[in-house]
Structure 1
Amino acid sequence: MTCAGTPGISNLRAPGVVGVGLPVVGCRLSALAASVDGMINDDAERLKATLVAALQQLNDAVLWKLDGLGDYDLRRPLTPTGSNLLGIVKHLASVQAGYFGDTFGHPFPDRLPWFDPAAEINADMWATPQESREFLIDLFRRSWAHAQQTFAVTALDATGEVPWWPPERRHPTLHTMLVHMTVEAARHAGHIDIIRELIDGQAGRFGGDRSMPGPDEVDWPAYVERVAAAAREAARG
């Protein structure tokens, strides 16, 4: 499989872990699956590797969206509920550390004070002035490396425990948690896409994303006005 790397993304992969080390940035999931199929014979390990690679792709895209921005733009809220780039990275790092850590008896080594019972609501969704971008990006990378250690020693059908989940769902398998975190990461990656576009117009999943038409293909201001005009016409009935 040949896939172009994305400038500005630091490698999140750790050696010796099933499903990592694949050149996944910018690849379609079908290509990921095809590559994994050729590397692993066991069906369960093949499925695990594909799931891990998909989550890896999302994690890489999340970090790429931070490139080139100053501290203010990384932190400032751009929705009525305060959504911001660095806060979303902090949140994803934290839930990733927990769901692939404590859940399977492999606790993340760092205390995350924003998850303490006495912490204020949404403390994991924004960066304090004392929490540098370097600290939070490193936390994100380390939480992923910690997760990879869990993947390496845990079967897909192994069960863990999430004490605050309802009793009928309290003991998810690793398979369930990989799907859960992929949905979580994809949802927040979409938020990050929109926030970054609002800041400086950068769009696409990664550098050179060919699925995103360039300015030589689409007159974006004219396109936006056409969409807005259609909305106004529809509202008039």
Structure 2
Amino acid sequence: MTSTDPVPEVHPAPAAPTIASSGGSMLSDEGVATGVDAAARKRTLHRSLQKQRAALVAKLDGLAERQARWPVTPTGTNVLGLVKHVAGVQAVYFGEVFGRPLPDPPAWLESEDGDDMYASLDETLDEIVAFHHRSAAHTDATIEALDLDSRGVVSWWPEDRRQVTLHRILVHMGAETARHAGHADIVREMLDGLAGDGDGNLAEKSPAEWVRWREHLVDLAERSGLRDLDA
């Protein structure tokens, strides 16, 4: 895309029979029974992470290699790079941190040159997705195996913050994954107009109604700018 490309026609992502399209209220059974134990809290955090993770990977559905790699922002943000980045980050946080390193990790996992933010010509979309699924399975196994108060060490964090629990890392990776899933939402919408993840949170509008909605917002922005000039 360039600044002269037309705005893509909006079309909502279809609902999928996965946790990606589950509403927030479906992610936890806390409150269903009297009292909430640590296992229930862990399930809540785990399901939330799984939802965001699935929503992120789903943003690759239907994209060709060129589209998946296309840098939409000035800093190069692209959907495939986001998926690769999250796959690498979760592999480290739920692997090395708890003494459960991912077997046969890719060389780029140790790179500090931004190699995790894009796919090289030697990597394919399918390979990145396969690594993401392998990383996710390793992550899920760690979460299932450990208690919320299990201890780990994040060696690259400040010395007084390096000692962590599984609870702390679940919160950290939930936020990290949700942030990048949001990035992918916007990048995908700018690529071809696919919006939302089928969980019912996208307003129900026809493509023509979305055009009129955007035009309304453009008009408000323009008029507010004129008001500033008159001030």
CA–CA distance in structure 1, aligned partners of residues 49 and 60 of structure 2:
18
Amino acid at match of 2:204: G
**Per-residue Cα deviation, 1:200-221 (whole angstroms, up to 9, x for no partner):** 1000123xx4221233397111
Which residue in 1 is equivalent to 2:96? 102
The answer to whether structure 1 residue 111 and structure 2 residue 105 are counterparts is yes
Contact 1:37 1:46 in 2 (8 A): no
Structure 1 residue 38 displacement after superposition: 5.6
1:62 shift after superposition: 1.1
Q: Specify the SS of the correspondent of 2:152.
A: coil
Distance 1:135 1:217 in 2: 34
Q: Which runs of 5+ in 1 are unaligned?
A: 8-22
Match of 2:209 in 1: 219
CA deviation after TM superposition for structure 1 residue 133, in Å: 1.0
Matched, 1:183 2:178: no
Shift of 1:145: 0.5
Q: CA deviation at 1:47?
A: 0.5
Q: How large is the Cα RMSD of the aligned pairs?
A: 2.2
> Normalized per residue, which structure has more strand?
2
Are the counterparts in 1 of residues 20 and 197 from structure 2 also a CA contact under 8 Å? Answer: no
Letter in 1 for 2:45: L
Distance in 1, matches of 2:141 and 2:99, equals 12
Q: Partner residue of 2:200?
A: 210
**In 1: Cα distance, 2:98 partner to 2:67 partner:** 36
SS across alignment from 1:109: coil
Q: Is residue 15–residue 197 contact of structure 2 (8 Å, CA) maintained in 1?
A: no
Alignment of 1:1-237 (within 5 A): 6=16, 24-34=19-29, 43-116=37-110, 119=111, 121-206=113-198, 209-216=199-206, 219-237=209-227
TM-score (norm 1): 0.83
Q: Is the 8 A contact 2:148 2:165 kept in 1?
A: yes
- Change beyond 3 A, Cα 1:186–1:71: same
Q: Which runs of 5+ in 2 are unaligned?
A: 1-13
Structure with the larger RCO, 1 or 2 (CA within 8 Å, 6+ apart): 2
